[in-house]
């Protein structure tokens, strides 16, 4: 892997899409450009309902304290803390490589998930447009996609998402899931310092729905003792904005993420930190984190069951649908992964 440091990286806040971005971060940004040999990442985890993902970036400027992708930065020789938020790798040739991989005769046009690791609509996308170019490839080759993002910039690509949906009808679609774990701006700003505020994300749902794009809300992660009481408000606002479906997963603190998250809440909300940690232990059988497949993205116990029931009851009351794993990620003529008997183990709530 060869990374080229960019001496004068493009400034997304001076781009034509600066009005779609949050204010620039305080940390000094370092950008590295990478030319990759492959961009399709296979998934063999039983916890995730997709076979393939595309990740145009490594690291994420949103800086979410709970992000499970932080340890991946350690493979590059960087830290999982502020390095993850300020040293961003851009896969500049991602679209060209994707076109080559999707043009193979062996490719079955399965749904591709954007992204499995970091947010494909973080601020640098306004300048580099790597995600948009990848979506252009998917539109050209009629390949279905699913996107999970916090970025308001996704509204820029509504035209491409509609193209993909039209060209893949009957064989897949183009779906967007906007991740909104917090109802109030103040708490969101503490834990997700550079991500768009909740109001902006609800507005993204509204604009995508108005444009005709299939859009849902992803309440993720639910942080026991902090955000579980926000569930009804988030779902109500999402439904009012036009969300068609709603899904959730619980917080998982893998590897060095545990230290980053616990340090952040101890510093920024010391009066609530103890309660949050205790509630995490309540739903994790006494542990803070869980690494086992089938367990790491869901909770257990009475407290977690109350959270789950609150979500299900509210979703049903508002008429929000549940996603069909086969519809989203299945391939005609093939058995989708995961198998139906593993549905309850999914990180998304497809049960």
User: Would you say 177 and 217 are in contact if contact means Cβ atoms under 8 Å apart?
Assistant: yes
In this structure, the number of other CB atoms found within 10 A of the CB of residue 328 comes to 23
Please enumerate in sequence order all residues whose Cβ is within 8 A of that of 259, keeping only pairs 6 or more positions apart, or say none: none
Return the minimum-mean-pLDDT range out of 100-109, 164-173, 282-291.
282-291
Q: What is the pLDDT of residue 42?
A: 83
* pLDDT tens column, 195-241: 999 999 999 999 999 999 999 999 999 999 999 999 999 999 999 99
Q: What is the pLDDT of residue 345?
A: 32
Q: What is the pLDDT of residue 24?
A: 58
Q: What is the pLDDT of residue 147?
A: 95
The CA-to-CA distance between both ends of the chain, in Å, stands at 40
Q: Please provide residue 84's backbone torsions phi and psi, each rounded to the nearest 5 degrees.
A: -60, -30
The b-or-e profile of 270-307 (16+ CB within 10 A means b, else e) is eeebeebbebbbbbbeeebbbeeeeebbbbeeebbeeb
* pLDDT tens column, 319-343: 998 754 444 444 333 333 433 333 3
Q: What is the pLDDT of residue 107?
A: 93
Bridge partners (DSSP) of residue 42 are: 52
Residue 348 predicted with pLDDT over 70: no
Q: What is the rounded CA–CA span in Å between residue 263 and residue 79?
A: 15
Q: What is the rounded CA–CA span in Å between residue 315 and residue 177?
A: 15
Q: What is the pLDDT of residue 171?
A: 55
* Helix H or strand E encompassing 324: none
Return the minimum-mean-pLDDT range out of 159-168, 193-202, 285-294.
285-294
Return the minimum-mean-pLDDT range out of 184-198, 230-244, 279-293.
279-293
Report the mean per-residue pLDDT for the chain: 84
DSSP reduced 3-state for 228? helix
Average pLDDT estimate for 80-89: 92
Q: What is the pLDDT of residue 161?
A: 97
Task: Give CA torsion, residues 50, 316, 248, 172, to 10 deg.
Answer: 20
* pLDDT tens column, 2-33: 676 655 456 565 666 656 666 655 668 899 99
Q: What is the pLDDT of residue 286?
A: 67
Q: What is the pLDDT of residue 151?
A: 97
Return the minimum-mean-pLDDT range out of 12-21, 125-134, 159-168, 199-208.
12-21
Q: What is the pLDDT of residue 241?
A: 98
Percent of the chain exceeding pLDDT 90 equals 63
Residue 164 predicted with pLDDT over 60: yes
Q: What is the rounded CA–CA span in Å between residue 144 and residue 288?
A: 37
Domain boundaries, the chain: 3-345
Q: What is the pLDDT of residue 18?
A: 58
Q: Please provide residue 203's backbone torsions phi and psi, each rounded to the nearest 5 degrees.
A: -65, -35
Q: Please provide residue 215's backbone torsions phi and psi, each rounded to the nearest 5 degrees.
A: -140, 140
3-state helix, strand, coil in the chain (%, to 5): 40, 15, 45
Q: CA torsion sign, 271 to 274 to 276 to 279? A: negative
Q: What is the pLDDT of residue 170?
A: 59
Query: 3-345 has which fold?
Result: pyruvate-formate lyase- activating enzyme (3.80.30)
Residue 344 has which token pair?
A: 């309850």
| Greater pLDDT, 348 or 55 | 55
Check whether the bond before 338 is cis (ω within 30° of 0). yes
User: Would you say 244 and 190 are in contact if contact means Cβ atoms under 8 Å apart?
Assistant: no
Half-sphere exposure of 225 (CA within 13 A, CB side): 18
Q: What is the pLDDT of residue 255?
A: 85
Q: What is the rounded CA–CA span in Å between residue 94 and residue 259?
A: 32
């Amino acid at each position: 892997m060869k990374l080229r440091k960019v001496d004068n990286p493009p400034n997304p806040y001076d781009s034509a899409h600066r009005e779609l971005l949050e204010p620039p971060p305080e940390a000094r940004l370092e950008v590295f450009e990478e030319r990759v040999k492959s961009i399709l990442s296979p998934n063999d985890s039983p916890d995730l309902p997709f076979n393939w993902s595309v990740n145009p970036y490594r690291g994420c400027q949103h800086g979410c304290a709970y992000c499970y992708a932080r340890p991946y930065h350690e493979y590059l020789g960087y830290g999982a803390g502020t390095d993850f938020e300020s040293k961003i790798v851009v896969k500049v040739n991602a679209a060209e490589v994707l076109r080559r991989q999707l043009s193979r005769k062996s490719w079955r046009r399965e749904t591709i998930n954007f992204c499995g690791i970091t947010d494909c609509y973080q601020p640098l996308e306004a300048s580099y447009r790597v995600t948009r170019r990848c979506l252009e490839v998917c539109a050209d080759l009629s390949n279905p996609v699913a996107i999970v993002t916090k970025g308001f910039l996704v509204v820029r690509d509504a035209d491409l998402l509609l193209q993909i949906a039209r060209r893949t009808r009957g064989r897949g679609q183009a779906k967007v899931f906007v991740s909104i774990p917090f109802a109030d701006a103040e708490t969101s700003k503490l834990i997700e310092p550079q991500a768009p505020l909740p109001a902006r994300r609800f507005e993204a749902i509204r604009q995508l729905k108005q444009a005709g794009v299939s859009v849902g809300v992803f309440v993720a992660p639910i942080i026991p003792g902090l955000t579980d009481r926000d569930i009804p408000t988030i779902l109500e606002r999402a439904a009012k904005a036009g969300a068609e479906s709603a899904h959730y997963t619980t917080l998982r603190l893998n590897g060095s993420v545990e230290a980053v998250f616990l340090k952040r809440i101890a510093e920024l909300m010391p009066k609530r930190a103890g309660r949050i940690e205790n509630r995490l232990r309540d739903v994790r059988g006494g542990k803070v984190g869980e690494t086992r497949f089938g367990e790491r993205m869901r909770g257990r116990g009475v407290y977690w069951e109350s959270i789950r029931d609150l979500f299900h009851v509210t979703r049903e009351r508002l008429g929000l649908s549940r996603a069909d794993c086969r519809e989203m990620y299945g391939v005609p003529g093939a058995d989708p992964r995961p198998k139906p008997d593993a549905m309850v183990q999914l990180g998304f709530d497809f049960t």
